[in-house]
Chain A
Amino acid sequence: MNWEVVIGLEIHTQLSTKSKLFSGAAVGFGAEPNTQTTLVDLGMPGALPVLNKEALRMAVMFGHAINAEIGMHSVFARKNYFYPDLPKGYQTSQMDHPIVGKGYLDVMLDDGSTSRIGITRAHLEEDAGKSLHEDFQGMTGIDLNRSSTPLLEIVSEPDIRSAKEAVAYVKMIHSIVTYLGICDGNMAEGSMRCDINLSLRPKGQKEYGTRTEIKNVNSFRFIEKAIYTEIERQADILEDGGRIVQETRLYDPDKNETRSMRSKEDANDYRYFPCPDLLPIELTEEYVDQIKANLPELPNQKAARFQEEYKLSEYDAGVLSASRAMADYFEQANSLVKDAKLTANWVMGELSKLLNQEQLEITQSPVSAKALGELLSRVLDNTINGKTAKDVLQAMWNGEGSADEIIEAKGLKQVTDTGAIEIMIQEILDANAAQVEQYRAADPDKQKKMIGFFVGQVMKASQGKANPGIVNPILAKMLKG
């Protein structure tokens, strides 16, 4: 049977506010347990939540970025369930009136095609605390630092049809929230977590199959792998004539499998109702428009501008604009070089290679954008050639100084003095009399291929410092005799 996969994603992004969604406690990763929590977060009787203004603004920014209807009237609701890391017995979230309504994203895939993924809604909610299951006198430890940390849960339509498309969509969301500066995008620290709803149906069938939900997948690679294994698991069951059980599953990256988390008998019944502790939020047109007017340039807009302004290919523009940090680096370097294609090639090529080798982010690059710009300027003005420039970049990476200092110290300046080059060529022609004879006897088509030998000899003799633009015409002339 030919199966079609149907995927919808729920992405929890942690908003980068200083304080919590409903209290004045600090938000931060890695603090000592229970040092960043308040009576409100602990759910103490009588302690009332007050909404963080900045979290609200960030949610509206996101709404604009995905072309969504903004919820001018939005309401917080209680999602009731019992778990020790949720001392209140409910999570304050949004149900009927989310802050962000229907929107969409256009996602570019590796093959260059674009697909439009619908976004159902995005709502504000608070995170829960953390349960630590290491053995504390046979008990579970509870750290409430994370409780009431602001989250924006972004819910997609079931519009995604492959693992690749899912990853492209999550990367796009990641790119947007980091461009907007509303989330640090640090997936390893849980700033972005993804729940995957997945079902299969025979190709051509309209109705959706029974779906499962894979909770809390926290890297692009795991999202892709979890989807592949879950497709395989469901297809195996269906091919054997079995039925999919609607349930929550967990992805285990070590075993590369998904497994059931909760049995059906315990199906959740959250009994949502409007939160009586929080009044409805009413936004004004003026407030919403003002946020829209101040929105930073978004990834798609930047990619379009890079193509327009710098005449870069769609691919180059897409890669450079995927992260705001890389786009900024490119633009800063290129403001010195003023040759966008050359700068783009070096940022995406040599520099990215070095960064990948040491698993560094571009913001951690030991070679600054300005420093790379200075190096490439030396390629453009023919001080050094591209090959030498790679060695200079490596030396800069190792902290040996600026491009000019290294070129000077290592004597790498190209030889552009025609007199010196002529002498060098004459020596080579004298030393290779037989090849010169052959060359002169050959027909012009063959000569074109044979000249490479002499160019190679000149470069070798000059230790790569002879400028090929000057060597080639002189060499051709002298070979004629």
Chain B
Amino acid sequence: MSIDKQDVQKIAHLARLALTEEDAVQYQHSLSSVLSLVEQMQSVNTDGVEPLSNPLEMTQRLREDVVTEGNHREEFLANAPQTEAGLFLVPKVID
């Protein structure tokens, strides 16, 4: 199975990646080969087999409902390029 360049650009857009023409060609090939492998696997008969959501034979551990973390705002904000009034600042988003 192969995908075309438009598919590659769409996937890149969903992941917010900017691809050059060259990159797109390269990803088109590598993604297509991954999909070929998937296609090969799909020839196995899986009737009646539930999809596997996790390969580990374990179940989720749970936390008690207690507050264990305090206020670390200053440390968190220190990593951000721009802040104001305790907020992270990002380029304007208009809904």
Contact = CB atoms under 8 A, between A and B. Distances in A.
Nearest to B14: A269
B59 A18 contact: no
B67 A279 contact: no
B95 A261 contact: yes
Contacts of B87: 33-34, 132, 136, 141-143
B8 to A, nearest CB: 15
Contacts of B66: 18-19, 24
B65 A35 contact: no
B40 interface: no
Contact of A53 (B14, B51, B58, B65): B65
A51 B94 CA distance: 33
A38 B77 CA distance: 12
B61 A50 contact: yes
Interface stretch (B19-27, B28-36, B68-76): B68-76
A18 B67 contact: yes
A464 to B, nearest CB: 56
Nearest to B56: A279
A141 B84 contact: yes
A136 B88 CA distance: 10
B85 interface: yes
B64 A282 contact: no
A386 interface: no
Contacts of B88: 34, 84, 141-142, 144
The interface centre, meaning the residue of B59, B63, B64, B72 with most chain A CB atoms within 10 A of its CB, is B63
B92 A138 contact: yes
A312 interface: no
B3 interface: no
Nearest to A38: B69
A131 interface: yes
Given A42-B76, A139-B91, A35 B86 contact: yes
Contacts of A282: 59
B91 to A, nearest CB: 6
Contacts of A388: none
Contacts of A26: 67, 69
Contact of A50 (B53, B63, B72, B95): B63
A256 B56 CA distance: 52
Interface stretch (A185-193, A270-278, A422-430): A270-278
Contacts of A18: 65-67
Contact of B89 (A42, A75, A83, A139): A139
Interface SS majority for chain A: loop
Contacts of B6: none
B95 to A, nearest CB: 7
Interface residues of A, number: 51
Nearest to B84: A136
A24 B69 contact: yes
Given A83-B93, A137-B84, A276-B54, A35 B71 contact: yes
A38 B90 CA distance: 19
B14 A52 contact: no
Contacts of B71: 35-36
B62 interface: yes
Contacts of A136: 84-85, 87, 89
Contacts of A19: 63, 65-68
B46 interface: no
A53 B63 contact: yes
Nearest to B68: A24
A480 B47 CA distance: 98
Contacts of A83: 93
B60 interface: yes
B16 A82 contact: yes
B42 interface: no
A97 B92 CA distance: 37
A42 B80 CA distance: 12
B50 to A, nearest CB: 9
B82 interface: yes
Nearest to A274: B53
Contacts of B95: 133, 261
A140 B89 contact: yes
A281 to B, nearest CB: 5
A136 B64 CA distance: 38
Contacts of A25: 67, 69
Interface in A73-103: 75, 80, 82-84, 96-97
A238 interface: no
24 contacts: A19-B63, A19-B66, A19-B68, A24-B66, A24-B69, A25-B69, A33-B86, A34-B86, A36-B71, A37-B73, A50-B63, A52-B63, A52-B65, A53-B62, A80-B14, A83-B93, A137-B82, A139-B82, A139-B90, A143-B87, A279-B56, A279-B61, A280-B53, A280-B54
Interface of A: 17-19, 23-26, 32-38, 42, 50-56, 75, 80, 82-84, 96-97, 131-133, 136-144, 261, 269, 271, 274, 276, 278-282
Query: A-B pairs with the 9 shortest C-beta distances?
Result: A24-B68, A141-B87, A54-B65, A53-B62, A274-B53, A142-B88, A279-B60, A33-B86, A139-B89
